[in-house]
Amino acid sequence: MNEATFTFRVDETLKSQFAQAAKSRDRSGAQLLRDFMREFVQHQEETAEHDDWFRRQVQIGLTSANAGKLVPAAEVEAEFAARRASTRRRLKNSE
């Protein structure tokens, strides 16, 4: 693995507090910063993947709606009313 130095300025108090917190976890500040950086990069990648997935799902829905493939609101309401009633019956029977 190629390594590079990452230099930045930070308030002395924050640096001291961070070093103390790292030491209390038996880690160095550098180890924690590398962990934070990896987690941040992973989070950004996961967020981008989710955003791509979500945009694809929205486009699928828009394409379907534009093609006239719609479910009437009354049909949706009836379906979920039936599901709610079923759930209520199961809950009542489990008491």
Cα separation of 38 and 35, whole Å? 5
Q: What is the pLDDT of residue 80?
A: 97
Tell me: the pLDDT tens digits for 30-70? 999 999 999 999 999 999 999 999 999 999 999 999 999 99
- Residue 2 — very low, low, confident or very high, per pLDDT cuts 50/70/90? confident
pLDDT at 12 over 80: yes
Domains of the chain, by residue range, sit at: 12-94
- Residue 10's closest CA among 26, 27, 33? 33
